[in-house]
């Protein structure tokens, strides 16, 4: 008796096959398996260069069902690959590519310019041609360069529901977006931009905030969209922040510069739950880290924000384009009114106002929300450790009444001891010094807090970013 396994069961089994190579083996097992599992192979697509893109787009143009099978598209590993004259000619004379170019372009001139970009192997041209085809896309990871005219154009058309998006919203299922800036993805693409500033073009970032399905966005090298406007200029109506129009709930900005607290982005979110920001002074337009600006922009999310990371392992220079960098230790402000906040990761000088004294102007217990569960304090100088331990002890002693959900405290700082021969810390081999470790006196200073945490049922962790094992 022949046992017939239903297709639905076979598909469930195939979805448990994680390795792409194994999924490929499935489709070559039989004609039936080929037709059944080929869409599964296309569920997660990674494209590394123009040849991958060319093969992929021809496949999905020939079989539109495969385009509908794509849920995740990863372009973060894209690298330049040269295009021969014969290959360029094949691209530009391809009947299927030309037909699709006519569908997505608004003029013959645009179509010709786009075809020229394809023939040069430009990532911008290929990616912008692929995206409108993926109607079921859930997750997009994109490596891009500052000059991405085709992507800028296609994303704005998606927001405006213009051709080729007039019939349907291709991105109606898109939930997660990652935008990774690559300064020289292909030097031949950007010879006119050598020496220019590396930053994310807001024309590419902002459209994702206007797509109603998107919930989470990660990006790096973002310069505050309002930074290009002089502070003395009165913003026009079209440049003023719009409040609460975006469905995005999670923002993660890395190696970025938010001179105005990223207010254009943050205030657009109607229900922001997670905000993570890592500062970098490497951008030309950076005026230094200004925490109070983020306090102002995040005020709109006081009732919804659950996770706040401010300047996680950020990069601060003594001087910026504006001159001496004196603002990076400014106090953020009290978090007590952020009534939904559960996880906080912040630098000590931004958590407590200790710029000119050894004790904070406002005690820590008055700066924290009652909803807090995890507190991670970065950048604690050794001279402030005793003060911080005392402040945290007060918090823990009042935990039951004020912070019933608090379960973990982390303290990070430059706590390691630099071994030297003078300290007789020499390895058995002779001249090789022992590995650096957190100083004993740091552990001793934190011991009273450790005891209080044990008694209260809390976790306490000490970290040094130069010692990954601690």
Which domain, by its residues, includes 9? 1-41
Query: What was the pLDDT predicted at 380?
Result: 94
For residue 88, the model assigns a pLDDT of 95
Flag whether 235 is in a domain.
no
Q: 180-189, 239-248, 334-343 — which is least confidently predicted?
A: 180-189
Q: DSSP letter for 52, please.
A: H
How would residue 347 be classed by pLDDT, with cut points 50, 70 and 90? Answer: very high
**Which tens digit of pLDDT belongs to each residue from 36-57?**
556 677 788 999 999 999 999 9
Give the pLDDT confidence score for residue 184 in this predicted structure.
35
**Each residue's pLDDT tens digit, 395-436:** 999 999 999 999 999 999 999 887 665 555 444 544 444 578
Q: E strand or H helix at 447, and its extent?
A: helix 440-456
In the predicted structure, residue 459 carries a pLDDT above the cut 80: yes
Report cis status (omega within 30 of 0) of the bond before 164: yes
Annotate 380-443 with three-state secondary structure.
CCHHHHHHHHHHHHHHHHCHHHHCCCCCEEEEECCCEECCCHHHCCECCCCCCECCCEECHHHH
Of the two residues 10 and 213, the one the predictor is more confident about is: 213
Burial 440-469 (b: 16+ CB within 10 A, else e): eebeebbeebeebbeeeebebebbbeeeee
3-class secondary-structure state, position 260 = coil
Q: Answer whether residue 365 shows pLDDT above 50.
A: yes
Structure confidence at residue 229 (pLDDT): 47
Task: Using a pLDDT cut of 70, give the percent of the chain over it.
Answer: 75
Q: pLDDT class for 470, splitting at 50, 70, 90?
A: low
Q: 31-41 and 7-15 are packed helices; what angle lies between their axes, rounded to 10 degrees?
A: 50
Q: Is residue 87 assigned to a domain?
A: no
pLDDT at 146 exceeding the cut of 90? no
pLDDT at 454 over 90: yes
For the stretch 305-343, pLDDT in tens is: 999 999 888 877 766 666 555 655 589 999 999 999 999
In a domain? residue 3: yes
The C-alpha atoms of residue 232 and residue 255 are separated, in whole angstroms, by 27
Check pLDDT > 80 for residue 468. Answer: no
What per-residue confidence (pLDDT) applies to 165?
86
Backbone phi and psi for residue 87, each to the nearest 5 degrees, phi listed first: -65, -40
142: pLDDT strictly greater than 70:
yes
DSSP E strand stretches across 281-421: 307-310, 319-320, 323-324, 343-347, 374-378, 408-412, 416-417
In a domain, 385, yes or no: yes
In this predicted structure, what is the pLDDT of residue 193? Answer: 38
Q: Which residue has the tokens 């206007």?
A: 210
CA separation for the pair 458, 395 (Å, rounded): 12
- Please report the pLDDT score of residue 20 as a whole number: 60
In a domain, 295, yes or no: no
140's tokens: 């997009």
**Total domains present in the chain:** 2
Please check the confidence at residue 4 and state whether its pLDDT lies above 90. no
**Does any domain span residue 1?**
yes
Residue 247 has pLDDT above 70, yes or no: yes
pLDDT in tens, 115-126: 999 999 999 999
Give pLDDT, residue 436: 80
Sign of CA dihedral 125, 128, 130, 132: negative
Residue 77 lies in a domain: no
Residue 467 vs residue 118, higher pLDDT: 118
Position 175 pLDDT exceeds 50: yes
Query: Is 396 within the bounds of a domain?
Result: yes
CA distance 190 to 187: 5
In 3D space, the residue among 388, 436, 434 whose CA is nearest the CA of residue 416 turns out to be: 436
Q: Residue 44 CA to chain centroid, in angstroms?
A: 20
**CB of 146 closer than 8 Å to CB of 201:** yes
| Six-digit token string for 310 | 């401010």
Higher pLDDT, 369 or 143: 369
pLDDT tens-digit series, residues 102-115: 999 999 999 999 99
pLDDT at 325: 59
Average pLDDT over all residues of the chain: 83
d(CA 373, CA 338): 13
């Amino acid at each position: 008796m022949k046992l017939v396994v239903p297709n639905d069961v076979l598909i469930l089994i195939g979805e448990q096959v994680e390795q792409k190579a194994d999924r490929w083996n499935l489709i070559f097992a039989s004609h039936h398996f080929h037709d059944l599992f080929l869409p599964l192979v296309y569920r997660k697509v990674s494209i590394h260069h123009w040849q991958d893109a060319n093969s992929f787009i021809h496949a999905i143009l020939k079989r539109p069902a495969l385009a509908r099978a794509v849920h995740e598209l990863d372009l973060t590993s894209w690298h330049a690959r040269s295009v021969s004259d014969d290959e360029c000619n094949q691209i530009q004379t391809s009947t299927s590519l030309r037909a699709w170019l006519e569908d997505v372009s608004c003029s013959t001139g645009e179509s010709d310019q786009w075809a020229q970009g394809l023939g040069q192997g430009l990532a911008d041209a290929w990616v912008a041609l692929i995206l409108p085809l993926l109607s079921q896309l859930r997750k997009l990871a994109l490596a891009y360069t500052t000059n991405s005219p085709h992507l800028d154009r296609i994303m704005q058309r998606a927001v405006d529901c213009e051709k080729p998006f007039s019939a349907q919203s291709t991105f109606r299922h898109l939930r997660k977006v990652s935008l990774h800036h690559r300064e020289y993805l292909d030097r031949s693409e950007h010879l006119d931009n050598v020496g220019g500033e590396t930053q994310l073009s807001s024309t590419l970032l902002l459209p994702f905030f206007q797509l109603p399905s998107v919930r989470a966005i990660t990006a790096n090298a973002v310069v505050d969209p309002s930074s290009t406007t002089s502070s003395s200029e009165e913003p026009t109506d079209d440049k003023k922040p719009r409040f609460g129009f975006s469905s995005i709930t999670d923002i993660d900005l890395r190696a970025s510069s938010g001179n105005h607290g990223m207010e254009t982005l943050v205030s657009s979110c109607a229900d922001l739950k997670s905000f993570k920001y890592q500062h970098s002074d490497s951008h030309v337009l950076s005026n230094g880290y200004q925490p109070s600006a983020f306090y102002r922009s995040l005020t709109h999310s006081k009732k919804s924000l659950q996770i706040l990371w401010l300047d996680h392992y950020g990069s601060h220079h003594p001087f910026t384009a504006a001159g001496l960098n004196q603002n990076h230790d400014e106090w953020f402000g009290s978090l007590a009114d952020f009534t939904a906040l559960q996880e906080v990761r912040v630098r000590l000088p931004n958590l407590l106002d200790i710029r000119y004294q050894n004790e904070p102007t406002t005690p820590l217990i008055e700066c924290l929300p009652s909803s807090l569960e995890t507190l991670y304090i970065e950048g604690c100088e050794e001279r402030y450790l005793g003060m911080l331990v005392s402040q945290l002890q007060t918090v823990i002693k009042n935990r039951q009444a004020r912070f019933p959900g608090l379960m973990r405290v982390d303290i990070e700082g430059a706590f390691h001891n630099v071994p030297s021969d003078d300290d007789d810390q020499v390895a058995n081999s002779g001249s090789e010094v022992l590995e650096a470790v957190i100083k004993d006196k740091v552990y001793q200073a934190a011991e009273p807090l450790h005891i209080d945490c044990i008694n209260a049922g809390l976790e306490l962790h000490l970290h040094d970013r130069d010692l990954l094992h601690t």
